[in-house]
Amino acid sequence: MSSAAAPTVWPKSGNELVDGLMKAAFDRPRDPRSYPYKLGAFSLLASRATNAPLARPYAPGTVDFDAFHAGVDEGQAIWKRHKLETAQ
């Protein structure tokens, strides 16, 4: 276990779409999520918005890896919802 505390917010991308989607999803009352979870959602959204490969910062088999990929799943749901809303 690392002695450094993980940040409690997600990184800012400088991409208004990604930052707006993250703010709408996480900057509201909801069950708390870990930083790796939020990073997973952020990474998926940034990947989709920029057509960049998805970064995978955690080693398989770790709790952080599992949380990151659960966040990726939420990020995918956020992205699909965004695409459906903007298609109308």
pLDDT tens digit sequence for 22-71: 999 999 999 999 999 999 999 999 999 999 999 899 999 999 999 999 99
pLDDT computed for residue 59 by the predictor: 97
Taking CA atoms, 28 is separated from 15, 22, 25, 72, 78, in Å, by 20, 10, 7, 19, 15
DSSP designation for 58: S
Interior angle at CA 29, CA 28 and CA 30, nearest 5 = 110
* Residue pair 45/79 in contact by the 8 Å Cβ criterion: yes
Helix (H, G, I), strand (E, B) or coil at 2: coil
Q: Taking 60 as the threshold, does the pLDDT of residue 85 lie above it?
A: yes
How far is 25 from 64, CA to CA, in rounded Å? 20
pTM of the model: 0.85
